[in-house]
Amino acid sequence: MHCPAERVIENRVNNNDKGREKMSVTTLKRIALVTMVLGYIGSLIPGMPVFLQWLGKLSAPLFFYCMAWSLTKTSDKKAYFRRLYIASVAMAAFNLLMSVVAQKTGLVTAVTTNMFATLFASAFLVDLIEYANRHPKRRLKIWFTYIFYQVAVAGVWAGLYEIVEVPYAVLNFGSALLGSALTCEGALMYVLIGVLFYFTKEDKSKKRMILGYLGIFLVFFVNSAFGLWGRLFSLVGHDVLVALMEIMTGLVLWGASFRPIFDLSHMFHNDFQWMMIFALPLVLGCNEKLGFCKKKRKRDKLSPQFRKYFYYIFYPVHVYVLWFIGAVIMK
């Protein structure tokens, strides 16, 4: 027998558990999917309201969190890395093909996005950190090799783009092929989001996750609102070096020195990456569970293989469809 007070407490606990179930990893993926689609509608189709792109900025951090969760739960990390890498190179190759199609048909735009490359770079860096921690005697050599390799790839990328003027799609294909963490979409700042989520998700207080995420957000916010980093790098005066820093950081640096010190319009109409801050409450509300109970699985007609590969297929397909619609409208 339970007294009324105990029943009330038990009901509240049950209600809280139900609430937590609603914010499972699966739910988080669906929110990321919806905001991603809205973001690409806003960016690829002319005349769409800018707030769609604001919503789109929620998707990348949510997918990075899901990537961090998958790295923890997967039984075969090598297979997971392989899927991300193959998806990254395949989409880069298709982007290259689409750029050729755009040139031949007179379409004014080409596809440049490839978040698979960034997810792979982030997952690889997570694995490298764990590998270096397991081999402390080789840690210095491991990090020197990795940093030298990444900076060299980014340097060649910037030189080929600014001096030789190699097409962007060709460079992005090479970047995906080489697993570059500094020339992928979003570059270093995005890669670090995935690393941050992986190494802080076990912290029950979430303080380290919150502080780390706020730090990354602050970099984007200061750049968007004040153009501080762009103003500093523009003092160098060399286009290749400025391009290299822009590529490596994922920050919009060009033209910052010509903007007002505090540019509110720029924050909401041009460089609104700082809006990723609104993804943090969703991440903190996740219960880190898949979200499919046994009873639900029995009724679920979707196979595990379908769930595994759905996002790998949906992401590029919806980007190309929206790109084609937008390109036809702009032609």
- Helix, strand or coil for residue 255? coil
- In this structure, are residues 4 and 31 in contact, taking their beta carbons and an 8 Å threshold? no
Dihedral-angle region of residue 288 (phi above 0 means left; psi in -120 to 50 means alpha; beta otherwise)? left
CB atoms within 10 A of CB 53: 20
Q: What is the DSSP letter of 162?
A: I
Confidence at residue 267, expressed as pLDDT on a 0 to 100 scale: 80
Model's pTM, two decimal places?
Answer: 0.85
Name the nearest CA neighbour of 319 among 19, 30, 39, 13. Answer: 39
Domain limits of the chain?
Answer: 23-330
Q: How far apart are CA 220 and CA 250, in angstroms?
A: 9
What is the pLDDT at residue 186?
86
Kind and range of the H or E run holding 220:
helix 207-226
Across the chain, which has 331 residues, the per-10-residue mean pLDDT values are 47 47 82 96 92 94 94 90 96 90 74 92 96 94 95 86 81 93 88 95 89 91 72 57 62 56 76 90 87 52 74 94 86 69
Query: DSSP states of 97-126 as a string?
Result: HHHHHHHHHT-S------HHHHHHHHHHHH
Kindly tell me the sign of the dihedral angle through the C-alpha atoms of 160, 161, 167, 168. Answer: positive
CA distance linking residue 243 with residue 233, whole number of Å: 9
CA 65 to chain centre: 9
Q: What is the structure's pLDDT at 28?
A: 93
The pLDDT score that the predictor gives to residue 235 is: 57
C-alpha span between 184 and 204 (Å, rounded)? 31
Say what angle helices 77-105 and 168-178 make with each other, to 10 degrees.
170
